[in-house]
Amino acid sequence: MSRIGKTPIPIPQGVRVTVKDGEVTVEGPKGKLSMKVHPDMKVKIEDNQVRVERPTDRAFHKALHGTTAALIRNMIKGVTEGYTVVLEVHGLGYRAAVKGKNLELNLGKSHPDIYPIPDDIKIEVKGNEIHIHGIDKQKVGQVAAEIRALRKPDPYKGKGIRYKDEVIKLKPGKAAGKK
């Protein structure tokens, strides 16, 4: 059995979980998230815990069991604590600034890159760090990946946008010619 799927998910104080017509809705202090559940999965709420059950032991159902439980766990954490991803901007003259509903990035190009900030995501710039906050784990990660894709870290000098804990293995430059 899936160890992730079979463990009950505790519902913290101040969070309301409802299941209706195959859709799980989680409401908490930070907001509200909902997700459609696969028709084969059964989601039950009992004793202030959420349980996910599967019909068979087929590999497909086993995979879906753990995934569904993990997604519900992420939704509960999102509406209580929220998620944050931190990006770092490295490079001479590389800058980031929030202007209105856009993130403006100067990344060594002839023009600044303008990234429109989605409504349910909050972005702050502190020095050379970009802090991305939100309640939906998938959306926070997607926004971070899209911003990073504007200028990935250079493999020779390390210039570009990288995740806070990302380690860039720099390649050696040209070797001096041998005679």
Q: Which residues pair with 69 in a beta bridge?
A: none
What does the pLDDT look like over 37-89, one tens digit per residue?
A: 999 999 999 999 999 999 999 999 999 999 999 999 999 999 999 999 999 99
- Amino acid found at 173: G
Per-residue model confidence (pLDDT) at position 4: 85
Strand ranges of the sheet holding 23-28, from the earlier edge strand across to the other edge = 16-20, 23-28, 31-36
Task: Determine if the pTM surpasses 0.85.
Answer: yes
Give the CA radius of gyration of the chain. 21
DSSP letters along 51-76, please? Answer: EEE-S---HHHHHHHHHHHHHHHHHH
If pLDDT is split at 50, 70 and 90, which confidence band does 1 have?
very low
Reported as a single tens digit per residue, the pLDDT across 137-175 is 999 999 999 999 999 999 999 999 999 999 999 998 887
Domain boundaries, the chain: 3-80, 83-163
CATH among 3.30.420.10, 3.40.30.10, 3.50.50.60, 3.90.930.12 for 83-163:
3.90.930.12
**Chain centroid to CA 130:** 14
Task: Using the predicted structure, report yes or no on whether residue 34 has a pLDDT greater than 90.
Answer: yes
Q: Which CATH architecture has domain 3-80?
A: Alpha-Beta Complex (3.90)
pLDDT tens, residue by residue, 93-146: 999 999 999 999 999 999 999 999 999 999 999 999 999 999 999 999 999 999
Residue with tokens 């870290």, as numbered in its chain:
153
Return d(Cα 17, Cα 169) in angstroms, integer: 44
